[in-house]
Structure 1
Amino acid sequence: MSSRPVLPRRTATVVCVVIGVGLLGPGVGPAGAAPEEVETVTSCTEAALRQAIDDVADGGTVAIACDDPIVLTPGGGSTIVVDKTMTISGTGHTVTVDGGRQTSLFAVQSGGGATSPDDLPTLTLRDLTLTGGWSQDEGYYGGGAVWNLANLVVERVHFQDNRAFNRGGAILSEGAGRLTVVDSTFTGNRVTCPIDGSGGGAIAVRQRQQTTISGSVFDGNSATGLASGGAVLAHVSRVGAGFPVEPPPGGPVPADPFGAPLVITDSVFRSNEVTVQAVAALDVSRMYGGGAVAALDHPLTVSDTLFEDNVVTTPAIGYGGAVLAASFRQAATTLTGVDVFDNGFPDRTNGHVSNGIGGGLALHGTPSIVEDTIVDGNLVGGGLYTRGGPVELVATAVENNVAGAVVPGDTTYGGGLASYGPVSLTDSTVLANSGGSCRILWGGGPAPAGDIVVDGGGNDVDDPGTCFRLAPPTTPPAATGALVAPTAPVAPGSGVTVEGAGFVPGARITLAGYLLGAPAPGASLAAAATTGAATAPGPVDLGAGQADATGAFSLTPVLPTAGVWQIVALGAAADGTTAALTAVLVAAAPGVDIAPVVTSQPVPVTAAAGTQVTLSASAAGAPAPTVQWQSSQDGGTTWTDVAGATGEDLTVTVGSVSTRYRAVFTNAAGSVTSAAATVTGSGTGTPTPGPGGGTATPVATDGAGAGSGEPSARPTAASAPALATTGSELLPLVATGVGLLLAGAGLVLAVRRRPAR
């Protein structure tokens, strides 16, 4: 469990904001600059402020030198329109401009003739408190305190209890200009709108130039309705704050000119909220959320910032308790040095365990880098939700998050990561999350093939098998169990259902196919492997899946070509090892014959004379091959059929002379011969099995030297002899070594990261 770091630098920022408003001196601008024109307001009246703004020259300053509130009223002119560059400053005084919940405060707009953002007027607000703004008066649908259609700079301003009908409880910034917010606070601002398109309890932006927020605090702001962004909303649509869940057909769409970057640095977002409400049935094909920040088709960069106790409340599915970043326009997201603590979704009331995905962060369609970030303690919805991207997590901790659900009874919806992929993890930790480390998601149809969560190295992850898909080895691994699969041939190119169990609940399952082929008549599998005849150069990726809560799975891979295939399912086993369940399938069209391929070889056995031993061999082909065992007592020079030995198992009595046995498999397409296994008598004593597990049992004998050709019960795949030795016996040692390396890297990461924060 991670310990939460003290944030001395961020605490200092908050203190500076609090003590800075109204106390810092007027020293602004470079030394030696020409003095600007100043209109001084000494009477705290609405009329005096309006007159000073009218009188000041372009580029001048209105200095408010009084300490009583200035209350704007509808009777006095309502919103003050600014159409020239100026600064309104309360430096040195405690200055409050109050709309009395009757009118918005300022509107910034071009006087006409502007051809570029630099030609637009710029309003700078400095050392003020703006409160009680209300944007429901005629003509102003957003921006309870300020509606910006040009350029707006906010320095050390406190926005409190401003309201908007639609967007931007404190500030709505639209058009061709830019917005810059420095060392300011936003408290208790709100947006309330029952129709689609609301959001940004404190700030909403839709503009061509960058929005920059630095050193600022957002506390207790809210957006209610079909809304996103409890504190900040960056959007491109004029009619909807929701974002489509499914990407548009045809791939990424062009960038929107109003989708300028949103950059947030050294700031705090605490206790902001989105409450999703609809006048009719909620459209679940659109995403709503971002308890603190929602960036929809805007590039988002956040650094050295805290998100804490932000929430999304919705009757359907919410996204991003702290941050929702979504884009189908390749708008990228970068989070660096960000702390995401205790955000999420409150318990819902309609029978689901939770109502959200990504209790901390939701990254949907946006290429993202999350670096040196802590995602900790986020509620019912997990730590991170990702879809598309790709997303990279570097030196990031995802710990102690609580899983949520989107269907009744599903309590494991991504405690750490819930992802459609692709996601890569490097030097990161995913630990102590309820509901497991990873939940791989997909829509209808088969499970996604390939890697969804990629292990970039240096990670410490609980149950890594729920995150990382094992890469299939170049040759078939030794089987640890059997897959349930059809025994009859299947048509090439068609799906075939295979099932297995014994994995860690939620384990990522890799399916691989090894084409054993249809060797030329008379060629054994061992010979084919040596010569390369009729075999694939390596494993064929047949897709992937997820074990259910019991550790079982069912998948439907497609065998791409005709032949004899060995199917292997790889994943984390419940006992901490790697499970490799196998089955042999034959893919053949009706009427097409495939020569036999040996799929398991008999193994040598040394046993006491007079005991019985059982040899086993198997093969596959189309049609199913017959078998005939043969024996040789001259070292394999001559071979004789064993009478009646026509089953896959052969039981013989050990004699005093060593005897070799082999199985010949035949069908209409040809025949193939297994490797020879020698049965050697050792006098008396305990039988000595060969390396593949042949067996011997002491019994009375009549001296005939050969047992019945009728097979005994065929061994299960768990006890069946392996295929020809391929080096797969090294896998357990390699896996152990890799596990030790990962554990060591996790310790190094913990020692390195935590003191630095």
Structure 2
Amino acid sequence: MRHWLRAGNPAGHAMVPAAARPVDTSHPTRVIGHGDPRGCTATAVVAAVAKGGIIAFDCGPAPVTIAMKVTAKIRNSVPHTVLDGGGLVTLSGGGARRILYMNTCDQAQGWTTSHCNDQSTPHLTVQNITFAGGNATGQKQDGGGGGAIFVRGGRLTVINARFTGNRCDSTGADLGGAAIRVLDQYHGLPVYVARSTFEGGTCSNGGALSGISVSWTILNSLFTGNQAVGRGANPARGGTPGGGSGGAVYADGNRFAIRLAGTVIRGSRANEGGGAVFFVSNDNTGELTIDHSRLTGNRNAGFETAGLPGIYFHSTGRPTITASTLSR
């Protein structure tokens, strides 16, 4: 299948580990469509995602947008789900709904262990696909957020994907992730994001990504024009609803690490702190590494760490920065 989608930072050359490389989908478990767009429906996507396995699309030779009528949900009894759009498929929330949901602690999706916040499966991989117009506004379960994708537990991997125009609630002290919100990953392993683009996202915090005590390894990716639009920071100042930090990336909690390598963050904005990245490790164990990356033109109306344009960092010491540019 011809791949039309070219996401991420083309100048990024960070090494991509095996865990963040595309899954072989040459022998899919199930295929959505029969060679033309007519079979590529939201109903088919929801049904396929509920069954899991390797999911491919056969919607014809041209790009296709599938308007999701409801959110597609991962069943917790399904070990692995790979959603591969072949570079031609856009899943659209139409500005009205979240697109994809996985939550190991949601009994409505099946209760599979007694330790839902630390189980190895499901493992969700999205690759060669676009998520547009997702909207999690009003979705409050487990703190809300995640306009395109919400994940709690298991594992998540994002490869060669584009996220555009996604959003979640505009206020909330700790609510975030216009594109992706993640709570808990198995044994604290990182969410891998490789060669992906995040643009035009809007949320209270984290105009692209948000995690609580979650590690991220972000490789050869591009963030542009994302916004954290809340007011009052976290904890919320008196008389405010809270939020407004992490124009692109919002990370809070205890033991976690973020690595940006071969990645560009530009033109993002925060009403409070960290126009590009907001990083708060409450127990001072968190580590932020920026390697061969460029963070430019990211503005915050409130606060940032001295000498780190676009970044608010709270942990022990300073971030590790190698061969990177941070500028206004």
Same fold (TM over 0.5): yes
The structural deviation recorded for 1:64 is 2.8
Which of the numbers 152, 170, 174 marks the counterpart of 2:124?
A: 152
Q: Is the contact between residue 133 and residue 170 of structure 1 (CA under 8 Å) also seen in structure 2? A: no
Using the alignment, how far apart are the partners of 1:193 and 1:293 within structure 2? Answer: 15
Q: Is the contact between residue 229 and residue 243 of structure 2 (CA under 8 Å) also seen in structure 1? A: no
Q: Is the contact between residue 161 and residue 189 of structure 1 (CA under 8 Å) also seen in structure 2? A: yes
Instruction: Report the 3-state secondary structure (helix = DSSP H, G, I; strand = E; otherwise coil) of the residue aligned with 2:229.
Output: strand
Letter in structure 2 aligned against 1:293: V
Using the alignment, how far apart are the partners of 1:295 and 1:125 within structure 2? Answer: 26
Task: Check 1:294–1:194 CA distance in 2 against 1; reply closer, same or farther (3 A cut).
Answer: closer
Letter in structure 1 aligned against 2:210: L
Normalised by the length of structure 1, the TM-score is 0.33
What are structure 1's unaligned runs of at least 5 residues? 1-8, 14-26, 30-34, 39-59, 112-119, 137-143, 236-258, 346-353, 379-757
Aligned to 2:183: 206
Does the alignment pair 1:28 with 2:24?
yes
The structural deviation recorded for 1:68 is 2.5
Aligned to 1:220: 200
Bigger relative contact order, structure 1 or 2, given CA contacts below 8 A and separation 6+?
2
Which of the numbers 46, 50, 56 marks the counterpart of 1:89?
A: 56
Aligned to 1:333: 288
Matches within 5 A, 1:385-424: none
Residues 112-132 of structure 1, C-alpha deviation per residue, up to 9 Å, x if partnerless?
xxxxxxxx5211111221102
Task: Check 1:66–1:366 CA distance in 2 against 1; reply closer, same or farther (3 A cut).
Answer: farther
Residues 236-260 of structure 1, C-alpha deviation per residue, up to 9 Å, x if partnerless?
xxxxxxxxxxxxxxxxxxxxxxx34
Using the alignment, how far apart are the partners of 2:128 and 2:323 within structure 1? Answer: 29
Does the alignment pair 1:357 with 2:304?
yes
Does the alignment pair 1:121 with 2:76?
no
Q: Is the contact between residue 295 and residue 324 of structure 1 (CA under 8 Å) also seen in structure 2? A: yes
Aligned to 2:92: 131
Aligned to 2:16: none
| Greater C-alpha radius of gyration | 1
Using the alignment, how far apart are the partners of 1:282 and 1:199 within structure 2? Answer: 14
Does the alignment pair 1:343 with 2:301?
no
Moved over 6 A (4+): 284-287
Using the alignment, how far apart are the partners of 1:334 and 1:282 within structure 2? Answer: 28
Residues 331-356 of structure 1, C-alpha deviation per residue, up to 9 Å, x if partnerless?
211111110111113xxxxxxxx533
Using the alignment, how far apart are the partners of 1:277 and 1:205 within structure 2? Answer: 22
Q: Is the contact between residue 304 and residue 313 of structure 2 (CA under 8 Å) also seen in structure 1? A: no
Aligned to 1:11: 10
Residues 100-154 of structure 1, C-alpha deviation per residue, up to 9 Å, x if partnerless?
xx522x111212xxxxxxxx52111112211026776xxxxxxx11102332101
Letter in structure 2 aligned against 1:89: A
Which of the numbers 372, 380, 394 marks the counterpart of 2:323?
A: 372
Does the alignment pair 1:109 with 2:37?
no
Instruction: Report the 3-state secondary structure (helix = DSSP H, G, I; strand = E; otherwise coil) of the residue aligned with 2:299.
Output: coil
Instruction: Report the 3-state secondary structure (helix = DSSP H, G, I; strand = E; otherwise coil) of the residue aligned with 1:182.
Output: strand
Using the alignment, how far apart are the partners of 2:228 and 2:178 within structure 1? Answer: 8
Normalised by the length of structure 2, the TM-score is 0.72
Using the alignment, how far apart are the partners of 1:295 and 1:271 within structure 2? Answer: 18
Using the alignment, how far apart are the partners of 1:306 and 1:109 within structure 2? Answer: 34
The structural deviation recorded for 1:83 is 4.6
Using the alignment, how far apart are the partners of 1:77 and 1:195 within structure 2? Answer: 34
Aligned to 1:555: none
Which of the numbers 300, 304, 328 marks the counterpart of 2:258?
A: 300
Q: Is the contact between residue 103 and residue 134 of structure 1 (CA under 8 Å) also seen in structure 2? A: no
Using the alignment, how far apart are the partners of 2:159 and 2:45 within structure 1? Answer: 27
Letter in structure 2 aligned against 1:131: S
Letter in structure 1 aligned against 2:192: T
Using the alignment, how far apart are the partners of 2:30 and 2:205 within structure 1? Answer: 36
Task: Check 1:12–1:66 CA distance in 2 against 1; reply closer, same or farther (3 A cut).
Answer: farther
Task: Check 1:178–1:337 CA distance in 2 against 1; reply closer, same or farther (3 A cut).
Answer: same
Instruction: Report the 3-state secondary structure (helix = DSSP H, G, I; strand = E; otherwise coil) of the residue aligned with 1:183.
Output: strand
Task: Check 1:343–1:296 CA distance in 2 against 1; reply closer, same or farther (3 A cut).
Answer: same
Residues 44-77 of structure 1, C-alpha deviation per residue, up to 9 Å, x if partnerless?
xxxxxxxxxxxxxxxx1324334426453xxx69
Matches within 5 A, 1:188-587: 188-209=165-186, 210-223=190-203, 227-235=204-212, 259-277=213-231, 282-283=236-237, 288-297=244-253, 298-313=256-271, 318-329=272-283, 330-345=285-300, 354-358=301-305, 359-365=309-315, 368-376=319-327, 378=328
Task: Check 1:81–1:197 CA distance in 2 against 1; reply closer, same or farther (3 A cut).
Answer: farther
Q: Is the contact between residue 167 and residue 197 of structure 1 (CA under 8 Å) also seen in structure 2? A: no
What are structure 2's unaligned runs of at least 5 residues? 1-7, 13-22, 104-121, 138-143
